[in-house]
Amino acid sequence: MTDIKPKKHYEILDGLRGVAAILVVAFHVFETFALGNRFKQIINHGYLAVDFFFLLSGFVVAYAYDDRWGKMTQWEFYKRRLIRLQPMVIMGMVIGGAFYYFQASDELFPEIAETPVWKLLLVMLIGFTLIPVPKTMDIRGWGEMHPLDGPAWSLFFEYIANILYALFFRKFSNKVLGFFVLLFAAMLINYTVFGPKGDVIGGWSLNLEQMNIGFTRLLYPFFAGILLSRLGKLIHIKGAFWICSALITIILMMPRIGDANSLWMNGLYESFCIILLFPLIVSIGAGGEIKSPFSLKICKALGDISYPLYITHYPLIYWYTAWVVDNKVPLEDGYPMGIGVLIASIVLAYLCLKLYDEPVRNWLQNKFQKRKMILSEK
């Protein structure tokens, strides 16, 4: 079997993933002070970063694998995706389990004090597989499919998208794929503009309503990213990374549009961002070039920590949220600690990257390549 050669790397897209990941952490820090009120969020649309990640993933997966299926089996594709994603899924669950008892709160997490160690370990082991835990194993009480590391829900859907791509969508022509992308866009608009909430918040619980939200959030951006990669309509402008970073920041920090009596307005904003602005940003990012060594270093650093940051920061957010709620800490007193949580999350992500993720992935890739060589010689 012919070995697969590496392709050009989109450094700007890596950098944008890092920018979005940092904004996610900041969003979760400030979300603590909104007390569940979506109209009082400070970085109000930070959750749209997940939809941006789905679009980026679709674009990158299609770019990396669309023309390689003659040289690669489905199982090889799955192994490559597992090697890329699964080590940090496991680390996220380990960190979540290690922090769990430090997040006890009579008001927020009363279940923690009653959770035996065996049950915690079982939930952690199930989390390693990304299989959602049943309601009886919800040891935090927030209804999350992964109660030790909430953001893992998006990786659950990411894996589903990769399986759908490998089984079906990679075989579709651009016209057929375009039809599905339009259908998925209509589903997104129907839910956000005409639905009951006026936003895409949700997807992390194992029930019919939340699974519907999760698939609505996944299907358009991921497969639109694939179509965008295939069409190759890239936009070439100077300063692409900084322009796209500014656009992402503005989109995610935009205050909520409308009020409780005009939910459709915010839904229209989110649909506009996901369906039109995010593909535009990816087109600019993929079409841009980095000539400054400084900008290149920034993009590489942001790209390297983006995934570890996203998948490991939430155990710190659980702790921070419990501290704020239990002590009734106001924003003006709590934001310095919040900044500390952001910095600590970045440091933790970097340590995980260098001491665990990169060594493990390198070991797995070398083992995978050696096995391929042995099989090809038989």
CB 242 within 8 A of CB 250: no
Q: What is the pLDDT of residue 5?
A: 55
Mean pLDDT over residues 48-57, rounded?
Answer: 98
User: Is pLDDT at 2 greater than 50 in this prediction?
Assistant: no
> Cα–Cα distance between 330 and 54 in angstroms, integer?
34
Joined together, the tokens standing for residue 131 give: 């299989």
From residue 164, give the alpha-carbon distance in Å to each of 145, 167, 207, 230, 339: 21, 5, 21, 17, 39
Mean pLDDT over residues 160-166, rounded?
Answer: 98
Q: What is the pLDDT of residue 1?
A: 40
Q: What is the pLDDT of residues 219-250, one digit of tens each?
A: 999 999 999 999 999 999 999 999 999 999 99
Domain borders along the chain are 11-371
To the nearest 10 degrees (0 to 180), the angle between helices 240-253 and 48-65 is 140
User: Is pLDDT at 374 greater than 70 in this prediction?
Assistant: no
